[in-house]
Amino acid sequence: MSKEYVVAVVGATGAVGEEMMKTLEKNKFPVKELIPLASKRSEGKTVLFKGKKIPVKVLNEDSFKGIDIALFSAGGSISKQYAPFAIEEGTIVIDNTSAFRYEKDIPLVVPEVNAEDIKQHKGIIANPNCSTIQMVVALAPIHREFTIKRILVSTYQSVSGAGRKAIFSLQNEAKQHLNHEEVEQGSLSHQIAFNLIPHIDVFMDNGYTKEEMKMDWETKKILHSDDIAVSATCVRVPVFRAHSEAVNVETEKPITAAKVKELLSKAPLVVLQDDPHENLYPMPIKAENKNEVFVGRIRQDESIKNGINMWVVSDNLLKGAAFNAVQIAEKLIEFKLV
């Protein structure tokens, strides 16, 4: 019989936590026991796993005794506070927040790109930002073949990336607008229904948002290249689920759209959807609840010598969060690290 593991999900009642449990079940991860953990606000609630209702336990310093793997998705401050207690108990932490992503000795992993980095972990493995994950899945094969010099990316990020409150905000604001009622602004910085907000995370001293800088910092770390120049503009759009990205890359070596299509047609987890004459291209409504990264609109950038434009779409709650985290857990087993 293959070994089974005790797995905790921290933030089990949140949007990503729910997707983590669904993914563990769907992937048939060898779970001996699931421990759903959340704040005191969730005391008395249950979660559904493999057809059984499991009571949610209140997260505390003693929550990790006997736990092999803990998937964290309850906010960076919670990860900072409780991950050390998990490590003390010998639990391997896979953290979906930004709490540890930029620490030099903590691996930041997208399994299709840099799975080997998992072997360097010292108790914590960080899950990258959702917008970064889908982009590097599409760009890693190009970087290996042609060496990327520069990336320009504009993101169109769904409200689910800002949590349940933002989902409810879009629902309520849209209803009010369509009913010709006064729109009560929800949880975001402005009304999101029938609007675009070029503001995700906090603004920094350089004029960029932290979300935009995450794409710079994380791409370099995951691709092991500090030489890549990255410039991002991140926009919240009135879409419930799945992020979209317009990506432009400039490479050192000569590159063609035909060669990029050939590479991506064979790339792990990438689905090529690129037939403009048949109106075939990735769209968020078609990417919902799917694990893959969808790529299309691949074309030569006629303004520079070695440039390519593309359109990249993926479900931010799955490949951008829960699915990537479970893949890391699967790699821990594959590498015999747990």
Residues with catalytic annotation?
130, 243
If you count them, how many residues does the chain have?
338
Q: How does DSSP assign 211-237, residue by residue?
A: HHHHHHHHHHHHTT-TT-EEEEEEEE-
Return d(Cα 251, Cα 95) in angstroms, integer.
Answer: 32
CA distances from 43 to 54, 64, 109, 236 (A): 12, 17, 32, 32
CB count within 10 Å of CB 271 equals: 18
* Amino acid at the residue 9: V
Residue 114 tokens read as: 């840099």
Return d(Cα 185, Cα 176) in angstroms, integer.
Answer: 10
155, 235 contact by CB (below 8 A): yes
Return d(Cα 91, Cα 64) in angstroms, integer.
Answer: 7
Q: In this structure, what are the phi and psi dihedrals at residue 21, rounded to the nearest 5 degrees?
A: -70, -40
Across-strand partners of 328? none
CB count within 10 Å of CB 62 equals: 8
